Chain A
Amino acid sequence: MRRVILWLVGTAIGTTVLVGVKAAPGTLPFDRSAEAPLDPAASGTPTPAITRTTAPSPSAKTPTRSRTTTAPVTRTIVGDAFPARDFGDVQVKVVLTGDHIDDIIVVQMSNRPRKAPSLLRAEALAEQSADNLTNISGATYTSEAYVRSLRSALAKA
């Protein structure tokens, strides 16, 4: 019995430590180093996805970019991969000119079909690659993992 309690306590402590190690700066109560550059949506606050009224810019702590008169350079920045809710990772890359977002491209998304149903009838659901399409109806970019990957890319800008 004593051994079980020891193991339980050990597991609780171990899990807390592991989660803490991967915590984002600012999440832990004693770490207020950085602020989220974009929506506070993912911080678990009750109201989701409140957008700022300014264009997304890197966090206030980093020096603001001054607009130069020369043509701004177009850069592509890859965000971190974040685990999507069920499985797999979502990773986006952002094409920036200056600090305007030109494009958001999905780099990876777990393509594992989740419960792709067996199709009994003749009219099968077609599937083709979305590689050479830039506009997709139905892709709302509202999922958690998208937003976080996007934020991470913009934070690196």
Chain B
Amino acid sequence: MTGYRRSVTVMGTVATVELYDAPDAERLADEVFAWLREVDRRFSTYRAGSDVNRLHRGELTLAECAPEVSEVLARCAEFWRDTDGYFDVYATGRLDPSGYVKGWSVQVASERLSAAGAVNHLVDAGGDIQTRGRPAPDARWEIGIRHPWHPASVCAVVTGTDLAVATSGTYERGCHVVDPRTGRPRGDLRSVTVVGRDLGTADVYATAAVAMGPPALRWLAGLDGYESMVVTEEGVSYRSAGLPVA
């Protein structure tokens, strides 16, 4: 199998595409990155002219937004219900769907790659990873989970063919996830990784779990179709029974 791998910086982080046995890998990678950049343009809270920011300032109504934007926001509203209010795009006081957008954009990219015939691929944007197929005929994708204290190590490795792995944590950007009920950042869970079907959903669940704090352990255990691994600030690690560790 011939492999192709490329990384760019986008969305304030690094995005990587790995393709195996894909027709016209270069062009496909270009399209993926172009899609990610478009997502960034529309959804970034750091860009003054993004749709999200203009919406927040009232310069745009929901009806005037691009269809993806309203679709994303609609999904976010559903997640708000599903997570009992812990995933809240208004948690920081301003509209911020980035807890879902990153995972969702990678998921869409992956779907497009599959549709285009690249069935063995990996797309990674800032640590949210979606894989499909296999990297080699009898191998499986191996995704490490960054050790919450030792930056050059991993604390677990998950493996599989179709994996969506999303991690939310406090060790790279500090306590940036806000608990919507108190309005203050939470730090008792240092790292939450959710593995499941949809990367967008996994991303939301991971973010919501960090916002929840210790009660998240029970909540994560009850999720259907999603496995998880949690490391608390005291250094205790928990993982669900079905987590596909290597």
Q: Do chains A and B touch in the complex (CB under 8 A)?
A: yes
Contacts of A102 in B (CB 8 A): 5-7
Instruction: State how many angstroms separate the Cβ of A31 from the closest Cβ of chain B.
Output: 26
Q: Give the interface size bracket for B toward A.
A: 35 or more
B236 is an interface residue with CB less than 8 A from chain A: yes
Interface residues of B in 175-202 (CB under 8 A from A): 191, 193
Pick the contact of B127 from A41, A129, A137 — CB < 8 Å?
A137
Known contacts A39-B9, A137-B128; is A126 also within 8 Å of B155 by CB? yes
Q: Which 8 A-B pairs have the closest CB atoms?
A: A49-B12, A138-B167, A138-B146, A117-B235, A133-B144, A141-B14, A101-B7, A140-B126
Beta-carbon contact of A129 and B153 below 8 Å: yes
Beta-carbon contact of B8 and A56 below 8 Å: yes
A48 is an interface residue with CB less than 8 A from chain B: yes
Beta-carbon contact of B127 and A125 below 8 Å: no
Beta-carbon contact of A125 and B231 below 8 Å: yes
Contact mask for chain A residues 129-155; partner B; CB cutoff 8 A; 1 contact, 0 none: 110011111111111000000100000
Among the stretches A8-16, A18-26, A58-66, A107-115, the one at the interface with B is A107-115
Beta-carbon contact of B151 and A142 below 8 Å: no
Interface of chain A, main secondary structure:
loop
Among the stretches B40-48, B62-70, B78-86, the one at the interface with A is B40-48
Contact mask for chain B residues 223-240; partner A; CB cutoff 8 A; 1 contact, 0 none: 000000001011111100
Beta-carbon contact of A116 and B149 below 8 Å: yes
Rounded to whole angstroms, the CA-CA distance of A2 and B173 in the bound complex is 46
Instruction: State how many angstroms separate the Cβ of B149 from the closest Cβ of chain A.
Output: 5
Beta-carbon contact of B237 and A128 below 8 Å: no
Contacts of A125 in B (CB 8 A): 147-148, 155, 231, 235-237
Known contacts A119-B236, A123-B236; is A137 also within 8 Å of B146 by CB? yes
Rounded to whole angstroms, the CA-CA distance of A50 and B13 in the bound complex is 10
Rounded to whole angstroms, the CA-CA distance of A84 and B166 in the bound complex is 25
The total of chain A residues at the interface (CB under 8 A) is 49
A5 is an interface residue with CB less than 8 A from chain B: no
Beta-carbon contact of A135 and B129 below 8 Å: yes
Rounded to whole angstroms, the CA-CA distance of A103 and B151 in the bound complex is 18
Beta-carbon contact of A142 and B16 below 8 Å: no
22 contacts between A and B (CB under 8 A): A38-B9, A48-B46, A51-B11, A55-B33, A103-B16, A106-B151, A111-B153, A119-B234, A119-B235, A121-B236, A125-B148, A125-B231, A125-B237, A130-B146, A135-B124, A135-B129, A135-B143, A138-B127, A138-B146, A138-B191, A142-B13, A150-B9
A70 is an interface residue with CB less than 8 A from chain B: no
Instruction: State how many angstroms separate the Cβ of B203 from the closest Cβ of chain A.
Output: 11
